[in-house]
Amino acid sequence: MNIFLTSTQAAEFLGVSRRTLYAYVSRGWIRSESSSTARERRYSRLDLERLRDRKQVRKDPVRNVSHALSWGVPLLETELTLIDQGRFFYRGLDAVELARTKQFFEVVNWFWHRDETELVPARVLPAKTRFVGSEPVSEFQRRLIKLGDAEPGGYDFSIPNVFVNGWRILELFLQCVTGSSNVTLLAGPDDLQRAWATDQGALPELLNTALILSIDHELNVSSFTARVVASAGSNIYEVVNAAVCAMRGSRHGGMGSLCYEFLKELETSESLRPILVRWVRDRGFVPGFGHHLYPAGDIRARVLLEMMKQRKVAEPQLQLIREAAKVLRQRANIDLALAVLARAFGLPPHAPLSIFTLGRIAGWIGHAVEQRTGGGLIRPRARYIGPLPAKPFSD
């Protein structure tokens, strides 16, 4: 990825002269650095994009603000996640590389505090009886409300307190998914494998990768929800609960359940095309393909699917989605990749949503901390387009 541009490239990018570019640099709007191979300085493409976006908003503020809520110009500044040219980064580190080399709890520590060596607090949840007969995400929300009502520290967003409450929330979710109190985030993927009664050795590694890739994805629906609720002064438990509500929607994390259903159909059908046609006819789309931010394909899905291919698991499912991708001319996204993982290892139908949510809880907490410590109340205005008020009756 070309993070820095030459002066000629930077000027062309903004549509200005190099003299104007240098003026922007002198005002502190664009960062530059010395080039190791030439005398000319190089200019930060991120700063150039930020300046370009501001200029576009000034040209047509109403249009740009109205479009910002649907894949438009950036609304908020963040130090958490960068998505750029088909890759994404957590606080400046390549998320894919982290997923390949680190453990989930290490990346969570980095995401919250830029320190992967931060000590994880000792388990702070009391022992619970086994959860029976409840969908785990719903069970988590019920228990989360009770936990937050009894924890005044939930309103304290200082880093030490965030670690205590954040790990408490993550382990509560892990308890609800596994149905056991004898779990810890330090061994989360292994605990999930044991709970889902599979002895296939590749699963913990794949789960760890999936969890890290799911931590954050910039200002998605649930993360924006978390920031809005945090900005209102709610505690961290209420923030996560609200974000879970958004996550469960069928156009967000709930898409994984549709992908699970879709894959199950493909596995039991003799012909692929009729199923694709029926999904498009009945739903208007086929779940699990394409992503607006990744025209060349969702890198999260590519990493996870490639790992399964290398470990020779999910071969029937991988063949099916390859055939579907050829017909649809679109590539699989993370929702479908999580469903492939679940179907290949015989995991329960809630597994795609549960894996995605467990990873994303860490992201929501990071967004909540950033919003509370550096942002104000999120209160956008609406542009009224309804009928004008009627004129008052004359006497």
Domains of the chain: 4-56 (1.10.1660.10), 76-378 (1.10.580.10)
Eight-class DSSP state of 185: G
Which pLDDT tens digit goes with each residue over 294-339?
A: 988 999 999 999 999 999 999 999 999 999 999 999 999 999 999 9
Residue 129 banded pLDDT, cuts 50, 70, 90? very low
Q: Which of 217, 291, 350, 367 is catalytic?
A: 291
**Higher-pLDDT residue of 225, 38:** 225
Q: Does the pLDDT value for residue 292 go beyond 80?
A: yes
Q: Does the pLDDT value for residue 4 go beyond 70?
A: yes
pLDDT, mean over the chain? 87
Give the per-residue pLDDT at 49.
83
Eight-class DSSP state of 253: T
Q: Which of 47, 335, 350, 367 is catalytic?
A: 335
Report whether 359 contacts 211 (CB < 8 A): yes
Percent of the chain scoring above 70 in pLDDT: 87
Tell me the whole-structure pTM to 2 decimals: 0.81
Pairing mode, if any, of strands 93-94 and 87-90? antiparallel
One-letter amino acid at 252 equals H
Which pLDDT tens digit goes with each residue over 168-211?
A: 999 999 999 988 877 777 777 888 888 886 777 899 999 999 99
CA pair distance 147, 139, nearest whole angstrom: 12
Q: Does the pLDDT value for residue 5 go beyond 80?
A: yes
Told to judge if 335 belongs to the known catalytic residues of this protein, a careful annotator would answer: yes
Told to judge if 350 belongs to the known catalytic residues of this protein, a careful annotator would answer: no
Which pLDDT tens digit goes with each residue over 334-369?
A: 999 999 999 999 999 999 999 999 999 999 999 999
